Structure 1
């Protein structure tokens, strides 16, 4: 019997993004990459004109980004890029440490091979970028390494909790200095974490990861001080 002929309709058509989704992507990228400073005012009219769309999808995009923690809405004052004080930076680092360390232990227990494979790829990609002096790739690759730990976790509640701070952490990474010492320090810490995972030493892997996260707190504080918008004006080009 001849095998059934595959229908051309068996391949699902990818749904095009809506204007709101496109606005979310563009505004998120501008915030994360530092094109819009911490605490900077966001004008719906300016954003809409810059993106060439109406204010409705922009308004919906800002509400979505508020849920991601990238935007703050203050009644009677306006909408602003998020901004963290010293206590908030300390809290986000402690929260991140708890979540990532638990996710790491869970991943080592339930998905060790996938975890090691994903992290080793991140190490290879970061080493390749470093050798080519592509330091602008560092924030993205650093984010991929830590996201791989979360994605290896089989506990959906842990993954959901991490999403509360994931976007803010990415924005902080993009504001760190892309110096050789910074990249080397991060590479070394990542490599030691992976070595402990390969050795199936969860306690050591967690301890190294916790120390690595704690070491970023001061750098994040400096980034927050240096990258605050000088005035809450209405520059909001993306």
Structure 2
């Protein structure tokens, strides 16, 4: 991905912390495949594209090193890690074990006062899909799911799920967007909210289970091995 491509997919919004904003944007760009597996990105070049100094970029990248999304390359920058089909299958299996029951637990505990905010987040996911903004789509998607899961009341579980979501790769989203199908997938979040507002915990669990299964279906794209993961983003 060229510098101009990075600038087009990562849109910095006004946030209390520029470091947090950059971290979230870069994380989503990696998960979506906009930042290519195996490629080395330098903090100064990314900072130049974003119109900010290299410092918050470097700090954000160090956060992503701890998440396993990039590897620090001394005197060069940061290399985006590759995820094999086997890795993705393992991550998805773990997510299926953890997220649906956590949503089921959270559903009766979410206060009605939180419904409007969660519904607005679901709307943001659909809006991003309509625009074809994959980075914002994944950022909003992560915010929505983690906002729900926090009501399960298990901070360690929340951190683990967040880590697993970061290890996912969704290269197929670009193809879905190009075919005009991403909005349809995005609307699954409205169905999840319907179940939550109706206090139908079993349905919320089933919908999230199906939602995650899409990772190994149309969302992940043609990832067969580590090399295939890299090639999938350059075709």
TM-score above 0.5:
yes
**Structure 1 residues 154 and 71, CA gap change in structure 2 (3 angstroms):** same
Distance in 2, matches of 1:121 and 1:97, equals 25
Task: Tell me which residue corresponds to 1:193.
Answer: 192
**Structure 1 residues 114 and 89, CA gap change in structure 2 (3 angstroms):** farther
Number of aligned pairs?
210
Residues 48-127 of structure 1 mapped to structure 2, 5 A cutoff: 61-72=60-71, 79-114=78-113, 116-126=115-125
User: In structure 2, the residue corresponding to 1:222 is in which secondary structure?
Assistant: coil
Give the CA deviation at 1:49: 7.7
Gaps of 5+ in 2: 1-15
User: In structure 1, the residue corresponding to 2:217 is in which secondary structure?
Assistant: helix
**Structure 1 residues 212 and 117, CA gap change in structure 2 (3 angstroms):** same
Residues 142-181 of structure 1 mapped to structure 2, 5 A cutoff: 142-169=141-168, 175=174, 177-178=176-177, 179-181=179-181
Q: Contact conserved, 2:44 with 2:53, CA < 8 A, in 1? A: no
Distance in 1, matches of 2:153 and 2:198, equals 21
Q: Contact conserved, 2:115 with 2:197, CA < 8 A, in 1? A: yes
Q: Contact conserved, 1:139 with 1:173, CA < 8 A, in 2? A: no
Give the alignment's TM-score, normalised by structure 1: 0.65
Give the alignment's TM-score, normalised by structure 2: 0.66
| Greater relative contact order structure (CA < 8 Å, 6+ sep) | 1
Task: Tell me which residue corresponds to 2:184.
Answer: 184
Gaps of 5+ in 1: 1-15, 232-238
| Higher Rg of the two aligned structures | 1
Distance in 1, matches of 2:26 and 2:125, equals 26
Q: Contact conserved, 2:126 with 2:183, CA < 8 A, in 1? A: no
Distance in 1, matches of 2:21 and 2:142, equals 22
**Structure 1 residues 43 and 230, CA gap change in structure 2 (3 angstroms):** farther
